[in-house]
Amino acid sequence: MIPEDVRKSEMLNTEKKMLRLKAEEKKKVAHKKFQTGDFKGAKLDLIDARQLIQEALQKVRALGERGVSERTIQDDIEALWRKILAKE
């Protein structure tokens, strides 16, 4: 690989990890809010988490990876979203 390509790949990988961590944190906060009955706050956090994980998945595609952990987080977000809708 060309050093420039390596740097770009490393940068994308780092950005992907940061986005994934932020999305995971938002998901955890949303889950806590869901447990306390703050459905509106949980939905807002899940919207943010969705956006972050979508950005991470774009990085995955740019890197040519499968994105298994990102898709797992996305599935968790959607499952929690459905739980919130069922409770409302």
Cβ neighbour number for residue 83 with a 10 Å cutoff: 14
- What does the domain layout of the chain look like in residue ranges? 3-87
Q: Look-up: residue for tokens 């955890």? A: 28
How far CA 88 is from CA of 4, 40, 47, in Å, comes to: 51, 10, 17
For tokens 């949980």, the residue is 42
pLDDT of residue 2: 78
pLDDT at res. 17: 96
Q: What is the mean pLDDT of residues 10-16?
A: 94
Stated pTM of the model: 0.89
pLDDT at 3: 82
